C-alpha cells in the first residue's frame, strides 16, 4: 500500500475510514479495467464523467480527491454491510472460506450501467490485459478528455458517441466481431429503444431478460451488468473460471455430468443465497489467481 506521504502528493483530498477493504484487490478483481496507478501510490480514473484520485495508505484509511467522496463510497461498495452479507453465506463452506481469506478486502463495485454493459460486451472471451487495452483505446478515441493533476484521462463514451462511431470504427479498436454487438447495443440505448434506467423497476429475472434482448448479450454478460452495474447482489455470473471451480470443488464427477450450464446457474444461486454475487466474486478472484498457478 502507499506510504504516509500519499496525501502530501495530493493535498486536496478527503479521508474516509474503511473496514475490510482493499483498494488494489478490488480494482484488480476483473470487475473494471481502466484504473491506472499514478506512480505515487495512488490510482486515477473516472467515475462516470468525474476524474478521481484514490489511495489507501493503510488498511483503515482511504484517501479520495476532494468533492468525490460520496461517489467513491458508492462506486467502491463501501456502503454495503459486509458482515451482514457474509452471514448469508452457507455455513461450513470450506472452499468459500478459503476464497474469502485470500482477498478479505474485496468489494463489489457499483459502476455506471452503460459503461458496465459496454465493457463486458467487449470482454467476451478476452484476457484481462487485452480487455484493458481495448477499454482504454475506446475511451481515448471516443470519450471526453479530462486533464487531471497533469494526467490525461478519458471518460467512457456514452451510447450516442459509440452509435455515431459505428461498427467499422469500433473494429479498429481491436474488437473484432464484438464491434457489431457494441455498435448495435449503443444504437438501441441511444435511440431509447432500450431504457437502462428502467431496469431498476424490474425484478432480477425480468431485468436479465431485458438485457439479453440486446445484441451480443448472453446470460453471463447480463448477470455481470446486474451485479457490477445495478447492485443486484444475487446475480451470479458464470464464466470458464467459475464453471471450473464449481464443478471441481463442489460437485462430484457424476453430479457435474448431469448439470448443464443453466442447471449450474440455478444451483449456484440457490446455494449461495441473496448475496450470491459476492460469493461469486470471492471465488472468481481466488480461482483466477490462487488456483491458476
Q: Are residues 182 and 140 in the same domain?
A: yes
Q: Which of 228, 257, 283 is the last residue of a domain?
A: 228
DSSP label of 19: S
Q: Is the residue at 220 inside a domain?
A: yes
Q: Same structural domain for residues 240 and 187?
A: no
In a domain, 148, yes or no: yes
Co-location of 45 and 124 in the same domain: no
DSSP track, 82-130: HHHHHHTSPTT-HHHHHHHHHSTT-------HHHHHHHHHHHTT--HHH
The angle at the Cα of 279, spanning 275 to 283, to the nearest 5 degrees, equals 165
Contact 18, 62 (CB under 8 A): yes
Quick one: 213 and 133 in the same domain? Answer: yes
Q: Is residue 242 part of a domain?
A: yes
CATH of the domain at 188: 1.10.340.30
Query: Which one, of 162, 145, 132, 146, lies nearest residue 32 by Cα?
Result: 132
3-state secondary structure of 231: coil
Give the pLDDT confidence of 37-80 residue by residue, as tens digits. Answer: 988 889 999 999 999 999 999 999 999 998 999 999 999 999 99
Dump pLDDT digits (tens) for 150-201: 889 999 999 999 999 999 999 999 999 999 999 999 999 999 999 999 999 9
At which of 200, 228, 256 does a domain end? 228
Tell me: do 117 and 96 sit in the same domain. Answer: no
174 and 118 together in one domain? yes
| Closest by Cα among 197, 192, 283, 293 to 236 | 283
96: pLDDT strictly greater than 70 = yes
Residue 223 lies in domain: 113-228
Give the three cell numbers for residue 134.
481495448
Number of domains in the chain: 3
Q: What is the CATH number of the domain that holds 263?
A: 1.10.1670.10
| Total-model pTM | 0.92
Same domain, 89 and 137: no
Among candidates 13, 8, 12, which has minimal Cα distance to 64?
A: 13
CA atoms within a 13 Å half-sphere pointing along the CA-CB vector of 116:
24
224 with 247, same domain: the answer is: no
Amino acid at each position: 500500500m502507499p506510504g504516509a506521504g500519499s496525501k502530501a502528493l495530493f493535498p486536496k483530498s478527503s479521508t474516509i475510514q474503511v473496514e475490510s477493504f482493499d483498494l488494489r484487490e478490488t480494482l484488480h478483481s476483473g470487475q473494471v479495467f481502466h484504473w491506472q496507478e499514478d506512480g505515487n501510490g495512488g490510482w486515477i480514473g473516472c467515475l462516470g464523467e468525474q476524474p478521481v484520485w484514490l489511495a489507501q495508505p493503510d488498511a483503515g484509511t482511504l484517501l479520495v480527491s476532494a468533492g468525490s467522496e460520496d461517489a467513491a463510497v458508492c462506486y467502491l461498495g463501501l456502503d454495503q454491510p459486509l458482515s451482514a452479507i457474509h452471514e448469508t453465506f452457507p455455513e461450513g463452506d470450506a472452499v468459500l472460506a478459503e476464497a474469502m481469506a485470500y482477498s478479505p478486502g474485496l468489494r463489489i463495485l457499483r459502476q455506471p450501467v452503460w459503461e458496465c454493459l459496454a465493457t463486458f460486451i467487449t470482454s467476451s472471451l478476452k484476457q484481462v490485459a487485452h480487455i484493458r487495452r481495448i477499454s482504454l483505446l475506446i475511451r481515448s478515441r471516443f470519450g471526453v478528455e479530462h486533464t487531471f493533476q497533469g494526467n490525461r484521462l478519458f471518460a467512457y463514451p456514452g451510447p450516442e458517441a459509440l452509435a455515431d462511431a459505428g461498427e467499422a470504427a469500433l473494429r479498429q479498436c481491436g474488437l473484432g466481431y464484438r464491434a457489431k454487438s457494441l455498435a448495435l447495443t449503443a444504437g438501441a440505448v441511444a435511440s431509447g429503444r432500450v431504457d437502462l434506467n428502467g431496469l431498476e423497476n424490474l425484478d432480477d429475472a425480468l431485468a436479465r431478460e431485458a438485457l439479453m434482448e440486446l445484441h451480443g448479450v448472453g446470460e453471463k454478460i447480463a448477470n455481470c451488468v446486474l451485479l457490477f452495474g445495478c447492485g443486484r447482489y444475487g446475480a451470479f455470473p458464470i464464466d470458464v473460471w467459475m464453471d471450473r471451480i464449481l464443478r471441481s470443488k463442489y460437485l462430484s464427477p457424476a453430479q457435474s455430468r448431469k448439470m448443464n450450464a443453466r442447471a449450474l446457474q440455478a444451483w449456484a444461486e440457490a446455494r449461495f443465497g441473496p448475496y450470491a454475487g459476492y460469493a461469486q466474486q470471492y471465488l472468481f478472484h481466488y480461482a483466477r489467481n490462487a488456483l491458476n498457478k
